[in-house]
Amino acid sequence: MKKPRLGQNYLIDENIAHEIIHHAGISNNQHVLEIGPGQGILTTLLLEKAKSLIAIEIDSKLCLALTERFNENKNFQLIQADAVKYNYSALVNKCQVVSNLPYYAATHILKKLIHYREYFSQITVMLQKEVVDRLVAIPGTRSYGSLSVFIQFYCEVERIIEVNKEAFSPKPKIDSSVIKLIPLTRPRVQVDNLKTFFSVVNASFLHKRKMLKNNLTGWENLFQNQNGKAELAGINLSRRGETLSIEDFAGISNYINSCND
């Protein structure tokens, strides 16, 4: 089957649409941002609930149809733009995000939203099930990786709905899940230098099967020998990155930083 252009797998199951809106818990004093409204299945429901709705859609044909359909709504604004490149600091009001994201750009868009997290009170999004597995994964599990650490460093995460591929047209190859993210007012752990922290995290997961001592070679000069075993900031480097908690990564990164002072 031909791959849908721009990740245009439309949700056709009304019950799932209602469930998403219900879990998002929108009240009539809230401003909502929808990314990729498509044919408008979520848009219609969001307009019934929210104080205002801004929708960002990249496809000009869909934008024409959406304008025709929703133009009468005074509380609706459609922006034709690429959600990966959009400057969210242009948003005047703090928003809730509710969206069925296009698969091909889902993680890029999500990272961008997290970058602008101060503009969002809550982010409820549908993405590939496999990506949601990674977003909620805890240490010691197969899906745990740098994306899990990145998202959980900045947000509270809650997996809320499982969606079968039959709920879409055209039908994608894989199932989806809906996740609710609440940006934390302060990151989950105290980190002295974000650049060092994410360098350590990314290096630790570079080769997932390798021990930390083989992934963190950039900081080899700081390794300590403890009874014949290499350690860094009290972490045994024979461990693999996937066993470390966010606090462990912060400990290593803050130690590296203190050595560079």
Residue 225, CA distances (Å) to 20, 171, 204, 215 in order: 52, 55, 19, 17
Contacts of ligand SAM in 81-120 (CB under 6 A): 82-84, 100, 102, 105
Cβ proximity to ligand SAM, 100 vs 254, nearer residue:
100
In the DSSP assignment, the letter for residue 211 is B
Residue 62 is a binding residue for ligand SAM (CB under 6 A): yes
Q: Identify the CA nearest to 186 among candidates 243, 118, 130.
A: 118
Stretch that binds ligand SAM, among 24-32, 37-45, 132-140, 247-255 (CB under 6 A): 37-45
Residue 8 beta carbon to ligand SAM: minimum distance, rounded to whole angstroms: 5
Residue 123 beta carbon to ligand SAM: minimum distance, rounded to whole angstroms: 15
Residue 36 is a binding residue for ligand SAM (CB under 6 A): yes
Q: Dihedral (C-alpha) 56, 124, 23, 29: value to the nearest 10 degrees?
A: -60
Q: Dihedral (C-alpha) 56, 57, 61, 63: value to the nearest 10 degrees?
A: -20
Residue 38 is a binding residue for ligand SAM (CB under 6 A): yes
* Residue whose C-beta lies closest to ligand SAM: 36
Residue 41 is a binding residue for ligand SAM (CB under 6 A): yes
Residue 151 beta carbon to ligand SAM: minimum distance, rounded to whole angstroms: 20
Residue of the chain from 13, 19, 59, 192 that contacts ligand SAM (CB under 6 A): 59
Contact 221, 164 (CB under 8 A): no
Q: Identify the CA nearest to 108 among candidates 89, 131, 91.
A: 131
Cβ proximity to ligand SAM, 11 vs 244, nearer residue:
11
- Cβ burial of 134 (10 Å; 0-12, 13-18, 19+) is buried
Residue 11 is a binding residue for ligand SAM (CB under 6 A): yes
CB atoms within 10 A of CB 168: 21
Binding site for ligand SAM (CB under 6 A): 6-11, 35-39, 41-42, 56-59, 62, 82-84, 100, 102, 105
